[in-house]
Amino acid sequence: MLNNTIFDNKELYSFSIVGSFFALWLSAQISPSIESNIAYIMILTVGILHGSNDIMLVNHTLRSNLNISRFAIFITYVSMVALVAILFYFIPFFALSIFVIFSSYHFGEQHFISKSKANNYLLYLYYASYGMLIFSMIFFSNPDEVIIIVNEITNVFISVDFIQNLFYSSLGLTILLSYVMHSKSLITFKIFEELILLVLLYVIFNIASLIAGFAIYFIIWHSIPSLKDQIIELHNEFNKENLLLYLKNSALYWLISIISLFLLYFLISDDKLFISLFFSFLAAITFPHVIVMFNLFRKKL
């Protein structure tokens, strides 16, 4: 039936594991150019789509408590995107650093929010540490590509040693905080499952290209679970009917994002430079999304 639930949490986890192994197998079968094109398509569709309903989420969470118009929310949201774009233009290294920190927190929050049992500031540090571990594994597996992209975006040269230190420090901090979270019962998770996932992701990041490795995590382990959480928040149940409604409501904002990116691509006409601008574009639309989801998840603890 149309309104049957699509995935429960256990089924979604199984789907993510199978999807990761399939992506790993596919990455070994196709050429790097095809792999990159598929990665871009997935990011441009599912990836950007999962943040295209932010304004509706803000309307849902704020307008019931505050007398704020839909137009005011829209202007505030667009202004935040524009501000981030300006920061990337004038102080790119600072903007990129903040983007990685914000995104790290957001990745960790999405991964552990359903397993968190209390509202504690240590949770925020743990979310950021886990997300930074994911980012640093991607960087550690593709250091040459990362160094080039960071240099093109910020005109700052980072060393391989910097990337290695980031990986080892985030790994150590995550291990330490995992023990603290578990001992204080702030989060309940199966240690073996989490270790297997990290090993799987590390293998994927080492086999796939930078953009493909990022896309696999971003789509399978972040965007799809986030879509599920958002649909449940907006429509109470994750089923086919509500998924179609979500897609309908987010179509306009998604289309605006895609058109803006394609205009940027045709104006640049430089594939290498476009990769850098592509990540800058993702950063610009990520900042307000992180804030929206933080506000949403905070009410659940």
What are the boundaries of each domain within the chain?
Answer: 36-298
Q: How many residues does the chain have?
A: 301
Contacts for 177-182: CB closer than 8 Å, 24+ residues apart: 177/122, 177/125, 177/126, 177/129, 178/126, 180/122, 180/126, 181/122, 181/123, 181/126
**Among residues of the chain, what percentage have pLDDT more than 70?**
91
pLDDT at 173: 97
- The upper half-sphere exposure of residue 219, i.e. CA atoms within 13 Å in the direction of its Cβ, equals 20
pLDDT at 228: 92
Q: Which two tokens stand for residue 279?
A: 């990540």
| CA atoms of 6 and 211, how far apart (whole Å) | 29
Query: What are the residues whose beta carbons fall under 8 Å from the beta carbon of 12, sequence distance 6 or more?
Result: 224, 225, 228
pLDDT tens readout for residues 8-30: 777 888 899 999 999 989 988 99
pLDDT tens readout for residues 163-184: 999 999 999 999 999 999 988 8
Q: Which two tokens stand for residue 15?
A: 């789907």
| CA atoms of 100 and 278, how far apart (whole Å) | 15
* Phi-psi category of residue 120: left, alpha or beta, with phi > 0 → left and psi -120 to 50 → alpha: beta
User: What are the phi and psi torsion angles at 236 (to 5°)?
Assistant: 75, -20
Q: Which two tokens stand for residue 28?
A: 């070994």
pLDDT at 220: 96
Q: Which of 92-96, 127-131, 155-159, 213-217 has the lowest mean pLDDT?
A: 92-96
Provide the 10 A C-beta neighbour count for residue 126: 25
Burial 234-262 (b: 16+ CB within 10 A, else e): bbeebbeebeeebeeebeebbeebeeebe
Provide the 10 A C-beta neighbour count for residue 60: 15
The 3-state DSSP class for residue 91 equals coil
Asked if residues 111 and 129 have their Cβ atoms less than 8 Å apart, the reply is no
CA-based torsion, 284, 224, 122, 137: positive or negative:
negative
Cα–Cα nearest to 236, from 5, 1, 2: 5
Mean pLDDT of all residues in 41-51? 90
| CA atoms of 25 and 119, how far apart (whole Å) | 39
Q: Which two tokens stand for residue 77?
A: 């949201």
Strand-pair partners of 5: 239
Instruction: Kindly report the pTM of this predicted structure.
Output: 0.89
pLDDT at 62: 63
